[in-house]
Amino acid sequence: MALTRRQRARTVRGLQYGVLVVVLVVLALVADWETISDRLLNPQIAAEQFPEIIQVALVNTVIYTALGFSFALVLGLLLALMKLSSVAPYRWLANLYIEFFRGVPALLVFIAFGFGLPLAFGVRFGIYMTVMISLGLVGAAYIAETLRAGIQAVPKGQMEAARSLGMSSGRAMISIVIPQAFRIILPPLTNELIALTKDSSLIYLLGLATSEYELTKFGRTAMSDTANLTPLVLAGLCYLIITIPLGFLVRRLESRSAKAR
Amino acid sequence: MTAVTSAISELTPAPVEGEPLVEIRGLRKSFGTHEVLKGIDLVVHPGEVVCIIGPSGSGKSTLLRCVNLLEQPTAGTIRIGAMEVTDPDVDIDLVRRHVGMVFQQFNLFPHLSVLRNCTIAQDKVLGRKGADAERIARSTLARVNLDDKLDAFPAQLSGGQQQRVAIARALSMDPDLMLFDEPTSALDPELVGDVLTVMRRLADEGMTMLVVTHEMAFAREVAHRVVFMDDGMIVEQGPPEQVISAPTEERTREFLRRVLDPTHVEPGESEPY
Ligand SMILES: Nc1ncnc2c1ncn2[C@@H]1O[C@H](COP(=O)(O)OP(=O)(O)OP(=O)(O)O)[C@@H](O)[C@H]1O
Ligand SMILES: [Mg+2]
Query: Is A190 among the domain residues?
Result: yes
Give residue A198's domain range. Answer: 43-260
- State the distance from the centre of ligand 2 to the C-alpha of A187, rounded, in angstroms: 36
Q: Amino acid letter at A130?
A: T
pLDDT of residue B17: 64
| Alpha helices by DSSP H, A31-126 | 33-40, 43-48, 52, 59-83, 88-103, 106-111, 117-121
Q: Please tell me if the CB atom of residue B31 comes closer than 6 angstroms to any atom of ligand 1.
A: yes
- State the distance from the centre of ligand 2 to the C-alpha of B210, rounded, in angstroms: 13
Q: Are A79 and A94 in contact (CB under 8 A)?
A: yes
Query: How many Å apart are CA B142 and CA B168, to the nearest integer?
Result: 9
One DSSP character per residue, B108-153 reads --TTS-HHHHHHHHIIIII---HHHHHHHHHHHHHHTT-TT-TT--
Percent of chain A with pLDDT over 70: 97
pLDDT of residue A178: 94
Query: Is A171 among the domain residues?
Result: yes
Q: Please tell me if the CB atom of residue B59 comes closer than 6 angstroms to any atom of ligand 1.
A: yes
Query: Is A11 among the domain residues?
Result: no
Mean of pLDDT over chain A = 91
What value does the mean pLDDT take over residues A64-68? 96
> Does residue B186 register a pLDDT over 70?
yes
Q: Going by CA atoms, what residue is nearest to atom 12 of ligand 1?
A: B36
A259 touches chain B (CB under 8 A): no
pLDDT of residue B269: 46
**b/e code A5-34 from CB counts within 10 Å (16+ = b):** eeeeeeeeeeeeeeeeeeeeeeeeeeeeee
Binned at pLDDT 50, 70 and 90, residue A260 comes out as low
More confident residue, A82 or B3: A82
CATH number at residue A188: 1.10.3720.10
Q: Going by CA atoms, what residue is nearest to atom 24 of ligand 1?
A: B56
Q: In this complex, do B111 and A183 lie within 8 Å of one another by their Cβ atoms? A: yes
Closest CA to A59 of A255, A175, A222, A212: A212
pLDDT tens digits along B167-180: 999 999 999 999 99
Closest CA to A132 of A214, A59, A219, A203: A203
Q: In this complex, do B99 and A180 lie within 8 Å of one another by their Cβ atoms? A: no
Query: Is A30 among the domain residues?
Result: no
What value does the mean pLDDT take over residues B175-186? 96
Query: Is A6 among the domain residues?
Result: no
pLDDT tens digits along B230-267: 999 999 999 999 999 999 999 999 999 988 876 655 55
Query: How many Å apart are CA B269 and CA B75, to the nearest integer?
Result: 39
Q: Rounded to the nearest 10 degrees, what angle do helices B130-143 and B159-171 cross at? A: 130
Query: Is A18 among the domain residues?
Result: no
Rounded to two decimals, the ipTM of the complex is: 0.88
Query: Is A101 among the domain residues?
Result: yes
Query: For chain A, how many structural domains are there in total?
Result: 1
pLDDT of residue A157: 96
Q: Going by CA atoms, what residue is nearest to atom 17 of ligand 1?
A: B61
Q: Are B201 and B228 in contact (CB under 8 A)?
A: no
Query: How many Å apart are CA A152 and CA A190, to the nearest integer?
Result: 19
pLDDT tens digits along A124-163: 888 899 999 999 999 999 999 999 999 999 999 999 999 9
Query: Is A34 among the domain residues?
Result: no
pLDDT of residue B11: 44
> Does residue B4 register a pLDDT over 70?
no
Q: In this complex, do A180 and B111 lie within 8 Å of one another by their Cβ atoms? A: yes
